[in-house]
A and B are shown apart, each in its own frame.
Chain A
């Protein structure tokens, strides 16, 4: 179940139990300063897989297709992958976009933070900026991961804030659910998880 954590203008729906820890992470690591014509929201996902497996998937700026179901392929410009790098993402068919050009804003392997900003493409998401963080937690007595993703984006002409949030949240929910499936599958297959237990 993907939950929603209240942001500046986010709806207070699906408030998750144990919001204490999450609220603290959101306060410290998911700060956005939306303007009047922007909307913002934060989503959480609990994944039954160790944090190192989840982070390995999330941090691959050059291979978002490993867990994002709408990505067909991705090409990083230049040879060096670092903060400031750009990637050109090609989107699968049937969706309201074909390409997205995205900049790596933040990559912290110690704090497990990935920040990405959209700088081009035909998705109508102007000034889109997102932060994903992953945090170790215990689920049913086993190592699990709390994933938090927040975003801020301009509300396009012709759409409302509600519609824009709904659309972006729908895409992020798909991504987070797929991330859970992929990493939980890896956790089952990984001999490391046996040693950990």
Chain B
């Protein structure tokens, strides 16, 4: 039975969601047959996880990673259509799957933003998932993708706003509006939400999620690189420029096209966009 359980778990589908306007959430519901097996939606998915990090060539560690087992429950209708759930005899309106969160945040210019993301993103996601449960109407597969995309976009945008001081945050019980770090400090953010039936991935920047299934690696995230055709077009449409200077860089300076934080200049909106047009919500 244990072996069968593992086998069923291994059939879970995987999907990647690009944050900030690149809606490519690809959900494939995996329902086990009614037969003798428990539905994949009812199986307990206990995470076995580990973390290893090294500062590499840097002189300081600026990375952060988050692991939050059972950080929230996901309404099952974010993962499967009502029709499929009905067919399996599951209660589409009340069933929630325990979910686990894993994230990597690679800081640049300093560690403050990465550390902030590590603590804060799971709180924001938990809040959004709780709110979302009241908002699910008749959810088709396309709607599921939209919900996940909107959910992650709101979380990443809020995170970005708090980091920059555009939104207040609670520090020691007091509302704080000063930026988390200087304007030249930022971080990537790539997160995976794991439950028994699905892995949902959202990305901002050039960190990466790879699934190892048996011997085959499968990329679940797409890097935000300045020389990606769509990213370059977006940057140039905003008046920025991609220059090859030890790699392709925004203004010749930053090697990723989207980032949490890293604004580098106060001033008018157009100025800000002109230099670093990669707010996560843009």
Contact = CB atoms under 8 A, between A and B. Distances in A.
Interface of A: 1, 69-70, 92-97, 122, 124, 158-159, 163, 166-167, 170-171, 173-174, 177-178, 181
A95 B253 contact: yes
With most chain A CB atoms within 10 A of its CB, the pick from B110, B243, B255 is B243
B56 to A, nearest CB: 10
A1 B268 CA distance: 8
B279 to A, nearest CB: 17
Nearest to B264: A174
A91 to B, nearest CB: 10
Interface stretch (B149-157, B196-204, B244-252): B244-252
Given A70-B109, A93-B58, A173-B275, 4 more contacts: A92-B108, A124-B245, A167-B251, A173-B265
B241 interface: yes
Interface of B: 58, 60, 62, 107-110, 182-184, 186, 241, 243-247, 249, 251-255, 264-268, 271, 275
A166 B265 contact: no
A94 B109 contact: yes
B58 A69 contact: no
A94 B183 CA distance: 13
Contacts of A97: 246
A177 B267 contact: yes
A93 B268 CA distance: 26
Given A173-B265, A174-B265, A69 B243 contact: no
Given A93-B62, A97-B246, A174-B184, A166 B110 contact: no
Contacts of A122: 246
Q: Which 7 A-B pairs have the closest CB atoms?
A: A94-B108, A167-B252, A69-B184, A96-B246, A170-B251, A96-B245, A92-B109
Contacts of A170: 251-253, 275
B268 A174 contact: no
A92 B251 CA distance: 16
A93 B264 contact: no
A1 B267 CA distance: 7
Contacts of B243: 159, 163, 166-167
Contact of A69 (B182, B247, B252): B182
Contacts of B246: 96-97, 122, 124
A92 B184 CA distance: 9
A94 B267 CA distance: 23
Contact of A70 (B58, B184, B255, B265): B184
24 contacts: A1-B267, A69-B182, A69-B264, A70-B109, A92-B184, A93-B58, A93-B107, A93-B108, A94-B108, A96-B247, A96-B252, A124-B245, A159-B244, A159-B245, A163-B241, A166-B241, A166-B243, A167-B243, A167-B251, A170-B252, A171-B253, A174-B265, A177-B266, A178-B183
A174 B245 contact: no
B266 A181 contact: yes
A181 B107 CA distance: 23
B185 to A, nearest CB: 8
Nearest to B265: A177
Contacts of B265: 173-174, 177
A96 B248 CA distance: 10
Nearest to A156: B245
B268 to A, nearest CB: 7
A161 to B, nearest CB: 12
Contacts of A1: 267-268, 271
Contacts of B184: 69-70, 92, 174
Contacts of B62: 93
A124 B246 CA distance: 8
Nearest to B245: A96
B251 A166 contact: yes
Contacts of B183: 69, 178
Given A1-B271, A93-B62, A163 B252 contact: yes
A159 B275 CA distance: 19
A72 B58 CA distance: 12
B80 to A, nearest CB: 40
